[in-house]
Structure 1
Amino acid sequence: MASKRLHLHICEQLRELVEILQDPSPPPICLPHDTQTGSADPNQMSNAEDHGEVPNDAAPRFHLEKAVSHESLVIGAIENAFKHMDEQIERERASQHLPGGCCALAAIYLMGKFYVANAGDSRAIIIRNGEIIPMSREFTPETERQRLQPGLFPALLRPELLGKEFTHLEFPRRIQPKELGKKMLYRDQNMNGWAYKKIEEDDLKFPLIFGEGKKARMMATIGVTRGLGDHDLKVFSSNIHIKPFLSCFPEVRVYDLTQYEHCPDDVLVLGTDGLWDVTNDKEVAGVVMEVLTSYEPNDPCRYTMVAQELVVRSRGVLKEHGWRLANDKLGSGDDISVFVIPLGGPGNYA
């Protein structure tokens, strides 16, 4: 559903910005009340109007807000589109029989810039003249530990959200009842390092973030911290819903294509976690260069062949003990989707 509808929500949100984006010097944005008093000073507003800072048709109780860049408006529109997509999934999940959820990674090309939006554990990189430029990061319980814990605490004020089953503290392992009163390493959302504390009864609750690497789980349930859908997902054997803590908002990174001269071998690679679980950035860049150099620069199918090769190499070869990579390590057991998008060269592919 997201693959068929998310881009439409993005287009709808961007369509509302067309006039603003076409204006190289838009007027300041106004809000309908003063931030401190609730009403604007008429003298100040009059002076502002004399200097042309407020549109003629502005209401008399408006105050000036700081200037907002076009780029920031586009990022906000994309973020809002993800939110509308998530809300549509929630509205239609019953009639369309759509339980569950998904991660989403989107690349939008607009006015010379790529906007890459990621909610989940998919990832994107740009390979430019052999250099690797990360365009997203994975959102997992480990990578978002410091955002999650204060964000989850509304739960400090509303413990019913967590059913009084979880602790916001993080420990190296699950605490056992026999360890009450002993000292153990811990950290909270404000800490990068580790310290010692005496184990108390509350520390026996399950940690909000448990496990390491790909095995890390939020609330012992889900391995990502951002994504669409999953409105019905609950903690195992519990009535606690995951969705209040699973954000649908993406992180959006921007790449300005006008700042660089791009050759036909410069590409944007988008991949699901099935690719990145077994293939790192450097290995992906190696495959890209290897395949591209085997085709003529003006052959458009060369980019499709790169994507195909990345999928094949990440899946591996089926052997007696399962799918194996060339180094005999396990191949990816997850879904693998890959896009390879050229950034320049003959025909201005971007």
Structure 2
Amino acid sequence: MRRIFPFSIALMVCFITSLSMAQEASSMKVVLITLDGLRWQELFSGADPLLINHEEYVSDTTALKKRFWRDSPQERRELLFPFLWKEVSKMGQIHGNRHLGSKVDLTNTKWFSYPGYNEILSGKADDSRIDSNDKINNPNTTILEIANKDQRYKGKVAAFGSWDVFPYIINEERSGVPVNAGFELAIGNDLTAGEKFLNELQPTVPSPWSTVRLDAFTHNYALEHMKKNHPELVYIAYGETDDFAHEGHYDAYLKSANTTDSFIKTLWDFTQQDPFYKDHTVFIISTDHGRGAIDLKTWTGHGSKVKDAGSVWLILFGSGIKADGEVSTNEQLHSNQIAPTIAKILELQKISTAMVGKPLPIFKE
């Protein structure tokens, strides 16, 4: 028998280790993000010329216009979303500018949060069973649950949300997906210094709402978890934009949208510096519903009786995504295509047969 010398064994070990690391690094990761109730009008045109001058909705018009107002919609949207329009528009795709013929719509007819999130996450509307925002466990299986029950991704899925209904939307109990939402703290025996600080800080910072925490906590809990545990599918649901809009605070709505843009940039920059995520991660960003636009009074609300509240938008960028920029061709996309697209990216489509939507044709050939 041929003798294998220690040096040869060492080479073999190095080769196998390198091959294993390469195979692990080649697997795709997905970061799914939603901004609750953010209108397509602000995404594509920036500050609304009527609302920004409306004293009922803005406490200091002069200060707000200095920060977010310019004469052209293109300049205004870059002020509001600098990362999305200066960077993402060059490397990814932005769908939903209805002025250019690009339409993204909900298929559910409810046009409020729980039905919208169910559609995004399960790949289908369920108007007969998901017809309220009540805290009931979702009877549908989300893409998060599908991934978490696949041996390749088990324990590598996580969700973070500002709204305290997300544990029910994701059905944390049945799915096994860890959900940090509402005013929950980070748990575990290996908390990072950042998580410990957030756990101490969150109870001392009052939120304007009883069911929704400030997005800074959601964002930083998610970022700390990504740094420590490297989930391969992570969902982050920011909520402030919807709640500020409901209260008629257009200035706070704009400022929150602008802050969330910086949060998304921070997440993207982290994934491009971390070897686990770099060049193997796709970002998908959307919203659960639109809101009123025709009547100034309706911008604060949404639902089936509010015209335009079923009109949404969709952003994709990252590894393998075609750099189409702002889509200006006639198209009709739907929110129920998001989960099937994630299933395709993670190679889970064979076990996602309950989804109605079809994967988006967004990949480089």
Q: Which one scores higher on RCO, CA 8 angstroms, separation ≥ 6? A: 2
The structure where strand makes up a greater share of residues is 1
Greater Rg by CA: 1
TM-score, normalised relative to structure 2: 0.21
The structure where helix makes up a greater share of residues is 2
